[in-house]
Chain A
């Protein structure tokens, strides 16, 4: 990534210097299809070198955001910069430095791998065939078969190989593993983490598969109905909320449950017999002291980590928006 920064600094007509540590900067972006507003005043920053999971339910606006970033369509208002370049005026500069894998693995199915590589090489100013060959060998993809005979997993793997051919600084993946089986998905993701991210490249991937975001992302943003409802480092998110598991000597009355639910920092409450689970945010020590001072005796109290997928799912549903 240092090369990228140095190169950026050498560009006299290039982007502003302050943008070099931000791979993607979206500022108050609004996109409308006719009268329907798909993205609503969306602002987001993706740090250089991060693996950024872009989560959202179907129709939340993930693909539209990616289309804006790649210049497939123009924003209704607001702006976006990719690797420091404005998405409207510098489409070619962006595409030269970005690898893209689309949702549908948009490959020409009548071509075979060498033909697709030739086509890609013709379209880029720089192309590293040896790099593509390395990944093709890694995935053991058949060279002479037409793409139409490939499985979905193989197509996704090939799309990734080709997206890496121009040695991109930023990889944008639009739900790349949606149609893959668990084995193919695991192979795809491990390549991303072990090979691509290890080189310091930025990976921005949209998904609605919570487990894969949790497995590889170090930052996450959640989109709900065209708005960003969460943008956070995963570790921070993990630390932000805790689960207090309380087990009472006797089943607490309904009034006590109501009181617990209203304590400061309590975000959610579940009750099952004598067990009460509180999802809390902020300082747990104070809250524990408050609970222990209550007139109902606790047999056990444990502080455990919140399941990230549950938390993200709430954001995706817009419950924490």
Chain B
């Protein structure tokens, strides 16, 4: 079943892998040619997301380019598109009956699909991280691999929330477009709306998807990991409950 899921998602993977590679490498290359990125160059809304004022270092530039901006946007959208089709597409094509008529539980069915999607997100995230390493080496700024992996892991954990939400909507919706729209609305509401409130940046999911201080100083962002993990698990549990009860 994993092979089927991989084959089914191949075009989405190829598209978003290319986007992610461009988003990770291209932005760093482009930004390195510009004057150093500092607080003043940031959009005011995103200034509040950074846990501390951006330091004028190459690491800060890398973090801002990929882990704060392009990474969450590209991988988040990838997660939404992956999750939105997991069940809705099967229902539309009638292939869900092929799976439901087999002696496997609905939980296993859903978790396999979710697991494959999560795996694909991780692979694309790791490939992007590898690209970041290579581009930085090319520019003569070797990055700390452990910090890069920690930040990549946090980014991946963060994208499991949109994946879970879109999976939920995919079970509830008769088509795969509505899950995309509804998930985008939910994710945008939970990431951008709090930023517009005074002192609300700590309630924004975006705030937890990347940790600038962890990337630069190397400390493990435990709080961010816990928040992202809990936030990822909730929609998955909800999806399992809804799928168990859903009549087809």
Contact = CB atoms under 8 A, between A and B. Distances in A.
A299 to B, nearest CB: 58
A92 B104 contact: yes
A118 B94 contact: no
Given A106-B93, A106-B94, A70 B4 contact: no
Interface residues of B, number: 20
A197 B94 CA distance: 27
B96 A106 contact: yes
A11 interface: no
B13 to A, nearest CB: 14
B247 A70 contact: no
B104 A123 contact: yes
B3 A119 contact: yes
B40 to A, nearest CB: 51
Contacts of B4: 108, 111, 115, 119
Interface in A84-103: 91-96, 98, 100, 102-103
Interface of B: 1, 3-4, 7-8, 93-105, 247-248
B247 A120 contact: no
A110 B97 CA distance: 17
Nearest to A174: B97
A106 B247 CA distance: 17
Contacts of A102: 94, 97-98, 101
Contacts of A106: 93-98
Contact of B102 (A67, A93, A110, A123): A123
A119 B99 CA distance: 10
A300 interface: no
Interface of A: 67, 70-74, 91-96, 98, 100, 102-111, 115, 118-120, 122-125
A119 B95 CA distance: 13
A96 B117 CA distance: 27
A72 B99 contact: no
Nearest to A72: B248
Most A Cβ at <10 Å: residue of B94, B96, B103, B105: B103
Given A72-B247, A108-B95, A98 B101 contact: yes
Given A102-B94, A102-B98, A108-B4, 5 more contacts: A67-B247, A119-B4, A120-B102, A123-B103, A125-B103
Contacts, number: 70
A111 B97 CA distance: 16
Nearest to A67: B248
A93 B124 CA distance: 38
A122 B103 CA distance: 10
A70 B103 CA distance: 10
Contacts of A70: 100-101
10 tightest CB-CB pairs across the interface, nearest first?
A: A73-B247, A123-B102, A104-B94, A106-B94, A96-B103, A95-B103, A100-B101, A92-B103, A106-B98, A72-B248
A122 B101 contact: no
B3 A115 contact: yes
Contacts of B96: 106
19 contacts: A72-B100, A72-B248, A91-B105, A92-B103, A95-B101, A95-B104, A104-B97, A105-B94, A108-B8, A108-B95, A115-B3, A115-B7, A119-B1, A119-B3, A119-B4, A120-B102, A123-B1, A123-B104, A124-B102
Contacts of A115: 3-4, 7
Contact of A122 (B1, B8, B94, B98): B1
B100 A71 contact: yes
B12 to A, nearest CB: 13
Contacts of A111: 4, 7
B7 A110 contact: yes
A103 B4 CA distance: 22
A72 B97 contact: yes
B95 A110 contact: no
Contacts of B97: 72, 100, 102, 104, 106
B98 A108 contact: yes
Contacts of A94: 103
A67 B96 CA distance: 12
A315 B96 CA distance: 33
Contacts of A124: 102-103
B104 A107 contact: no
A107 B95 contact: yes
Most A Cβ at <10 Å: residue of B4, B95, B99, B101: B101
Contacts of B102: 95, 120, 123-124
A116 to B, nearest CB: 9
Nearest to B101: A100
A115 B4 CA distance: 8
Given A95-B102, A104-B94, A120-B102, A74 B247 contact: yes
A94 B102 CA distance: 9
Contacts of A98: 101
B155 to A, nearest CB: 30
A69 B97 CA distance: 13
A218 B4 CA distance: 39
B93 to A, nearest CB: 7
A71 B1 CA distance: 21
Contacts of A71: 100
A104 B98 CA distance: 10
